[in-house]
Chains A and B, each alone.
Chain A
Amino acid sequence: MTGVELPLALFLLANLAAALVRAARGPTAADRMLAALLFGTTGVGILVLLAFAGGGTPLIDAALTLALLAAIAGIAFVRRAWTQESEESGDA
Chain B
Amino acid sequence: MLEYASAALLVLGGFFYFAGTLGLLRFPDVYTRLHALAKADNLGLGCVLAGLALQAESPAVALKLLLIWPLALAASAAVSYAIARRAEALGIRPWRKEEK
Contacts and interface: CB of A to CB of B under 8 A. Distances in A.
Whether chains A and B associate is yes
Interface of A: 1-5, 8, 11-12, 15, 18-19, 21-22, 28, 30-31, 33-35, 37-38, 40-42, 44-45, 48-49, 51-52, 57, 60, 63-64, 67-68, 70-71, 74-75, 77-79, 82, 84-85, 89, 91-92
A37 B18 contact: no
- Which 10 residue pairs across A and B have the least CB separation, nearest first? A71-B75, A74-B79, A78-B82, A15-B21, A2-B7, A41-B41, A85-B90, A4-B7, A30-B30, A4-B10
Contact of A34 (B7, B30, B48): B30
16 contacts: A2-B3, A2-B55, A8-B13, A15-B21, A30-B86, A30-B92, A34-B30, A34-B34, A49-B52, A67-B71, A67-B72, A70-B79, A71-B74, A78-B79, A89-B92, A92-B29
Given A34-B24, A42-B21, A77-B83, 11 more contacts: A4-B10, A8-B11, A22-B24, A38-B37, A41-B44, A42-B17, A71-B75, A74-B78, A74-B79, A89-B29, A92-B29
